[in-house]
Amino acid sequence: MDYSGLIEKLLEGNTRTAARLITLVENNIDVAEKIINSIYKNTGNAYILGITGAPGTGKSTFISTLIKIFIDQGKKIGIICVDPTSPLTGGALLGDRIRMKEHFSLENVFIRSMANRGQLGGLARATDDTIKILDAYGCDIIIVETVGVGQSDVDIFKSAHTVVVLLVPGLGDDIQTIKAGIMEITDVFVVNKMDLDGADRKVADLMQMLELNKTYKYDSEKIPIDFAKMKDWTPEIIKVNSRTGENFDILLDKISKHKEFLEKTGTISNYLKNRIKTETLQILKHKLTKKIEELLHSNEVVEKYINEVMEKSLDPYSMANLIIKMLEKKF
């Protein structure tokens, strides 16, 4: 199929076309390849903001308030709500999406929910491609929201320029939870619901945690590709009230400060490089998995290996090594 008509419309800012292209890239990686191929040179203009927080931290209200400010600034905004735990599109996030939609005319805000329909790893790839479509569509800011359940968020946030993590006063162990994986990639910590008791305590806890992690750098064991965008950047901490908008001016300053940091220090080029590596890795995983599956299904030699494993004269690890040698010759 030829997608040039659709792509032309996308670049003109046609909303329905953007939605359609996202569905196409979500459902089929081969189609995604063609589409991204055509639009790639038109990407790179949007600022990508990753936002996460455990349930109850007030993500929807926070994002709504943020969007209102961006709209007032005349920005065009894309929002991608990612829920890696949901096998269905929508789920918990669909409610948020609808709630958010109420507040805005669709003209300058494009909202999309994504869930884990396919294989593991596929969601990060689909999210990356969706970001590119919204970028080419003309969004100035793309917000990627996740549900904050751990490693999947880390994968998804590798595409974000600035990662914002929401906490609330008194949610007990949330700092402990945030520590596992997300902490390493957080640029701005937001203590939401600052009107509640314990907001200052939470800020102090965060400061202490960052102090304890003075040698703050990426742990290459945890994050496979050296994701060095935050080197020399000490995460900012800010308390806000999403209902009243209090302190959002300071928050936006802090986000700008991080943006400036990325640009001035040249960190942004490291960030881009790492983002490209991560994306390519995701794509390669898909492509190689497909090749291996074909081999596992229809190759005589592999069939022989499988029988040997069944008879226990070979084990799965040794079989994997033999297949790598085959791939080396064939591909």
Partners of 127 in the β-ladder: none
- Residue 90 is a binding residue for a copy of itself (CB under 8 A): no
Q: What is the Cα–Cα distance from 194 to 110, expressed in whole angstroms?
A: 29
- Residue 283 is a binding residue for a copy of itself (CB under 8 A): yes
Q: Which is nearer to a copy of itself, 44 or 170 (CB)?
A: 44
Q: Supply the minimum distance, in Å, between the C-beta of residue 116 and a copy of itself.
A: 6
Q: Site map for a copy of itself, 192-221, x if CB under 8 A?
A: ------------------------------
Cβ neighbours for 4, distance < 8 A, ≥ 6 positions apart: 38
- Residue 55 is a binding residue for a copy of itself (CB under 8 A): no
- Residue 32 is a binding residue for a copy of itself (CB under 8 A): yes
- Residue 44 is a binding residue for a copy of itself (CB under 8 A): yes
**Quick one: tokens of 69?**
């400010």
- Residue range at the interface with a copy of itself (CB under 8 A); choices 49-57, 73-81, 118-126, 254-262: 118-126
- Residue range at the interface with a copy of itself (CB under 8 A); choices 158-166, 228-236, 246-254, 289-297: 289-297
Which of 45, 119, 234, 244 binds a copy of itself (CB under 8 A)? It is 119
- Residue 92 is a binding residue for a copy of itself (CB under 8 A): no
SS3 per-residue string spanning the chain: CCCHHHHHHHHCCCHHHHHHHHHHHHHCHHHHHHHHHHHHHHCCCCEEEEEEECCCCCHHHHHHHHHHHHHHCCCCEEEEEEECCCCCCCCHHHHHHHHHHHHCCCCCEEEEEEECCCCCCHHHHHHHHHHHHHHHHCCCEEEEEECCCCHHHHHHHCCCCEEEEEECCCCCCHHHHHHCCCHHHCCEEEECCCCCCCHHHHHHHHHHHHHHCCCCCCCCCCCCCCCHHHCCCCCEEEECECCCCECHHHHHHHHHHHHHHHHHCCHHHHHHHHHHHHHHHHHHHHHHHHHHHHHHHHCHHHHHHHHHHHCCCCCHHHHHHHHHHHHHHCC
Which of 31, 198, 273, 299 binds a copy of itself (CB under 8 A)? It is 273
- Residue range at the interface with a copy of itself (CB under 8 A); choices 74-82, 93-101, 114-122, 205-213: 114-122
Q: Which is nearer to a copy of itself, 106 or 310 (CB)?
A: 310
- Residue 297 is a binding residue for a copy of itself (CB under 8 A): yes
Q: What is the Cα–Cα distance from 218 to 185, expressed in whole angstroms?
A: 8
- Residue 224 is a binding residue for a copy of itself (CB under 8 A): yes
- Residue 63 is a binding residue for a copy of itself (CB under 8 A): no
- Residue 301 is a binding residue for a copy of itself (CB under 8 A): no
- Residue 316 is a binding residue for a copy of itself (CB under 8 A): yes
- Residue 155 is a binding residue for a copy of itself (CB under 8 A): yes
Chain residues binding a copy of itself by CB under 8 A are: 32-33, 36-37, 40-41, 43-44, 85-88, 116, 118-121, 128, 149-152, 155, 177, 180-181, 224-226, 269, 272-273, 276-277, 279-281, 283-285, 287-289, 292-293, 296-297, 306, 309-310, 312, 315-321, 323-325, 327-328, 330-331
